[in-house]
Amino acid sequence: MTHRETSGHGRDETPEERADRLWSEMLQEVRVCQTGAQILFGFLLSVVFTPRFPTLPEFDQRLYVATVFLGALATGTLIAPVAFHRFLSGHGMKPELIRVAGRLISSGLVLLALTITAALLLLLRTATELSATAWVLAGAALAWFCVCWLVLPQVVLRRAPSHRPDGRRARPSR
């Protein structure tokens, strides 16, 4: 007989069913991030082949290289859970896979935010002669990502009513 548990979220599922559900949810989340990172990375790769690129100041060319590098890291990190799944599938390691994939996705999101911020800075520095404005706007975008992707989820988590019968706050499912 399979052991069933009722999680703090009111689900009656076995540990295997929970792992399958969490993995499916993670795949849906990462698909959105992967697509955005890959499209951004593809556009970034093409910039170096434009006639204007050689005329950019040295700082902007270096910023471009750093941005492409961040884009490559973000893309690779967000694709990594697929590779982990491919190599670990069938080995009964789904809980470990979920933990590692969760960390990879979180790291990939940080790298994606940095890539977008650097790309925005490069674009604004190229599109305007107001370098200080470009830095302020790029910094504001990075701050916005931090608020939306890090702060707001923590605020919601802290305000969420407890769903556990013992009164303790429910642990997040990862």
pTM for the model stands at 0.79
Q: What is the pLDDT of residues 129-147, one digit of tens each?
A: 888 999 999 999 999 999 9
- Rounded Cα gap, residues 124 and 82, in angstroms: 34
| Domain count for the chain | 1
- Rounded Cα gap, residues 123 and 135, in angstroms: 11
Would you state the pLDDT for residue 91? 82
The answer to the question of residue 3 being in a domain is: no
The answer to the question of residue 9 being in a domain is: no
The answer to the question of residue 6 being in a domain is: no
Provide the residue range defining the domain that includes 86. Answer: 15-159
Q: What is the pLDDT of residues 146-156, one digit of tens each?
A: 999 999 999 99
Would you state the pLDDT for residue 127? 86
